[in-house]
Structure 1
Amino acid sequence: MHLHSVTTLNERKSILKETVVTFAQRAKQHDEENSFPMENIEDLKKIGYTSLTVPKAYGGQGLTLSEWLPLQELIAQADGSTALSIGWHIGLVSQLAEHSNWPENILHKLFKEIVEDGVLLNAAASEPETGSPTRGGKPTTRAAREGNSWIITGRKSFTSMAPALDYFIVSATMDDEQVGNFLIHKSLTGVKIKETWNSIAMRGTASHDLYLEQVQVPEDAFLEVIHPGNKRPAGWLLHIPACYLGIAQAAEQFAIDFATSYSPNSLQTAIKELPNVQVKIGENEAALLQARYFLYGVAQKWDQISDDEKKQMQSELGSVKYHVVNAAIEIVDRAMRVVGAQSLFKDNAIQRYYRDVRAGLHNPPMDDRTLIQLATEAFNK
């Protein structure tokens, strides 16, 4: 079935659940080989997932934040790398549909290509020299005006889903020292992907380095002026905690299945009957409930308020990411304590969940930035 042919969340979940079964089966191989799950992405394209947040006027479904985040969590339960990778695309499209300073003709063309051709995009903003763009560092990537074109040169890191991307949204410092975003197609001369990704976590995201060597782009490839470190609140970034919440749920289910089936000969029953095991599982269930209420409560608020009110939500959005990711790490840890030493065996998926969930600490916004902002606001009340 196709996701565009149904209208409810439960119907979408049902279709997606059937699709992601193979994602879980492939996850171990991609993790061990440090390879990109291209087949997962193609499967998502086939069911119409990659165009769900495109506005209905352009052939998409125009899903709101609270409508597509649960789908991201579901994908993450099967494979965190796939969820985080496609989340960048889905989220950016969601943001462009909701609020964008981009030229209308560029948006129209891009939305049409996403729906009709299945093109994918992601931002390429991080650089080895500047670190996370949320810290406010100015890009060392340069964009020089040359007649009716721009010549762009630089290197970007953490370019998730690099092998599957058709477009890169590249930040670059221009001749007047302002910073701008440019839309660059993968086919242009001088665009190169170097396979540098070798992390112990989220290995399947293929977050390789993007090299731009004197790439010539047309004048209308310039999208907008941006201000690093001073961006408006972005609700779509909640795809990050949704992903790690999904991984935590997968770890919890692994622990439940293990506790239900494992019965050492020192006991007359499975370890699920032990009070200490029940306490850990109970703590995890409580933490999952709390995290979901916070995540989806804020997502629903975002969907219901005005654009001006959204500008005041930076602290809430950051707090969701802080609480959910740290809760997910604790949930995975407790799940591993239920499983015991077998949780460290490479053949058991829970050790991958342990590695993958920690990557959330290094996705934006960073914990210290969120906490300092909350403290500053508290002191200024």
Structure 2
Amino acid sequence: MRTSSRKNGVVASFEPSEILNDELLERLRVRAAVHDRENTFPDDDLADLKDAGYLAILVPEELGGSGLGLAEASVLQQRLAGAAPATALAINMHLVWTGVAKVLADRGIDALRFVQEGAVAGEVFAFGISEAGNDLVLFGSGTDAAPLPDGGYSFTGTKIFTSLAPVWTQLGLHGLDTSSQDAPQMVYAFVPRSEVRAGRVVVRDDWDTLGMRGTQSRTTELHDAVAPADRVVRRLAPGPNPDPLVFGIFSVFEILLASVYTGIARRALDLAVGTAGRRTSKRTGKAYSQDPDIRWRIAGMALAYDALPPQIEALARDVDDLADHGARWFSLLAGLKHRAVTAAKQIVDEAVLVAGGSSYFQGNELSRLYRDVLAGLFHPSDPESAHSTVATAWLGPIED
């Protein structure tokens, strides 16, 4: 599938298979079952993706990257997730930071240039935002951020769902500064892997989950973990904030998450179609693809799936093109992610029914997709948050 890519205002041709070819994807698909079964991180997948330049797809060409936009990265993530969902979700967290760097750079802010240069050099950036019980997400934190005399910060707290835990080289995180003169302030910074070796970052080996096992999204303890001054990228007032960094994180995170689960949905649909063509009814002697009930079920899956890629592309291009949706941005982004993950779960559910009892066996790919797709409901914005955000956009805030 060849699509268009816009660079410097010029529309150029973009072929996803030139970056993620079928041979590479098949290798990743075979490994995905192994990593799911053994609960291990896909190191070989990461090595292959590094060799393909995948970690730098959102980095400008002049810095050594592919120069793609968010819309093109979304297509690639859908393709990757169709082969290895956990690998795609893990890499997503690295791409979030390179995507945020692009969003800022496109708006004249060079604060994350080191992320772009690091991605080209092979650094792996992890996303250390999630905290147990913190429904404020970007607008608050239970992690303490203590200022240091040289302008750096030390962080103490616990982060959860830290994907890429065994391999990250830089952990992008946030914490709350309550001791500076202008406190409270949310602090966004990056902590290097050397803090693990120093014992100030402890990565628990506690990732043993229902699905998405290959992400190895382990709990991360911070014990005065130091982010140097040149890696402190933003200090912001807590609460809802229109700052470009907050917008960048939310927009890239939601769009790329929607992409991963849309990729899972497409794979489930393809597997259902293939199964329907191979299974034969003892009653009629015909393939199940000729059964009216099966055809109706697959049509429903396709109707749900077909709505997703155009929505993702449209909103991703709006981010790339600096469109201004004003206060509606957050409801549009939360709604996109919510629709994608709920539709993907529905599509996988239907695919399992089309495939029949064989999909109940652990070795069946649909069995893994059935478990992997569930993780989508737990990522921000969760269903409650998405509905609250959209209700506020349409009805205004709840009155005191």
Matched, 1:180 2:187: yes
In structure 2, the CA distance between the partners of 1:46 and 1:229, relative to structure 1 (3 Å rule), is farther
Which residue pairs with 1:4 in the alignment?
Answer: none
Q: Which moved more, 1:26-35 or 1:134-143?
A: 134-143
Find 2:27's aligned residue among 7, 22, 25.
22
Find 2:211's aligned residue among 193, 201, 219.
201
SS at match of 1:162: coil
Aligned counterparts of 1:11 and 1:241: Cα–Cα separation in 2:
18
1:320-371 CA-to-partner distances (Å, cap 9, x unmatched) read 1111111111111111111122221111110111111111111111222222
In structure 2, the CA distance between the partners of 1:201 and 1:156, relative to structure 1 (3 Å rule), is same
1:57-110 CA-to-partner distances (Å, cap 9, x unmatched) read 312122111111000000000011111111121122111122169995x63433
Deviation of 1:227 after TM superposition, in Å, equals 4.7
Which residue pairs with 2:357 in the alignment?
Answer: 341
Work out the number of aligned pairs and report it: 371
SS at match of 1:313: helix
Find 1:318's aligned residue among 292, 314, 334.
334
Q: How does 1:74-153 map to 2 (within 5 A)?
A: 74-99=79-104, 104=110, 107-115=112-120, 117-128=121-132, 130-134=133-137, 136-146=139-149, 149-153=152-156
Which residue pairs with 1:223 in the alignment?
Answer: 233
1:39-64 CA-to-partner distances (Å, cap 9, x unmatched) read 11111100111101012231212211
Which residue pairs with 1:235 in the alignment?
Answer: 251
Matched, 1:292 2:309: yes
In structure 2, the CA distance between the partners of 1:152 and 1:373, relative to structure 1 (3 Å rule), is closer
1:242-283 CA-to-partner distances (Å, cap 9, x unmatched) read 100111111111111111112243341221111101111111
In structure 2, the CA distance between the partners of 1:147 and 1:236, relative to structure 1 (3 Å rule), is closer
- Contact 1:102–1:223, Cα closer than 8 Å, also in 2: no
Find 2:52's aligned residue among 28, 47, 62.
47
- CA RMSD across the alignment: 2.4
Deviation of 1:293 after TM superposition, in Å, equals 2.0
Which residue pairs with 2:170 in the alignment?
Answer: 167
SS at match of 2:234: strand
In structure 2, the CA distance between the partners of 1:142 and 1:112, relative to structure 1 (3 Å rule), is closer
Find 2:76's aligned residue among 71, 79, 97.
71
- Contact 1:13–1:71, Cα closer than 8 Å, also in 2: no
Which residue pairs with 2:6 in the alignment?
Answer: none
SS at match of 2:126: strand
Q: Which amino acid aligns with 1:356?
A: D
In structure 2, the CA distance between the partners of 1:132 and 1:199, relative to structure 1 (3 Å rule), is farther
- Contact 1:248–1:331, Cα closer than 8 Å, also in 2: yes
1:163-190 CA-to-partner distances (Å, cap 9, x unmatched) read 1211001212222332201211112312
- Contact 1:37–1:82, Cα closer than 8 Å, also in 2: yes
In structure 2, the CA distance between the partners of 1:263 and 1:12, relative to structure 1 (3 Å rule), is closer
Which residue pairs with 2:9 in the alignment?
Answer: none
Find 2:378's aligned residue among 362, 376, 379.
362
Matched, 1:154 2:178: no
Aligned counterparts of 2:381 and 2:336: Cα–Cα separation in 1:
10
In structure 2, the CA distance between the partners of 1:226 and 1:83, relative to structure 1 (3 Å rule), is farther
1:133-175 CA-to-partner distances (Å, cap 9, x unmatched) read 5274432334242556533322211101111211001212222
Aligned counterparts of 1:52 and 1:230: Cα–Cα separation in 2:
30
Q: Which amino acid aligns with 2:185?
A: Q
Deviation of 1:123 after TM superposition, in Å, equals 2.1
The alignment's TM-score, normalised by the length of structure 2, stands at: 0.85
Which residue pairs with 1:253 in the alignment?
Answer: 270
- Contact 2:101–2:115, Cα closer than 8 Å, also in 1: no
Aligned counterparts of 1:183 and 1:339: Cα–Cα separation in 2:
46
Q: Which amino acid aligns with 1:54?
A: V
Matched, 1:302 2:305: no
- Contact 1:58–1:108, Cα closer than 8 Å, also in 2: no
Q: Which amino acid aligns with 2:229?
A: E
Aligned counterparts of 2:112 and 2:140: Cα–Cα separation in 1:
27
- Contact 1:202–1:355, Cα closer than 8 Å, also in 2: yes
Deviation of 1:229 after TM superposition, in Å, equals 5.1
- Contact 1:201–1:356, Cα closer than 8 Å, also in 2: yes
Which residue pairs with 2:292 in the alignment?
Answer: 275
Q: Which moved more, 1:270-279 or 1:257-266?
A: 257-266
Matched, 1:191 2:201: yes
Q: How many percent of aligned residue pairs carry the same amino acid?
A: 27
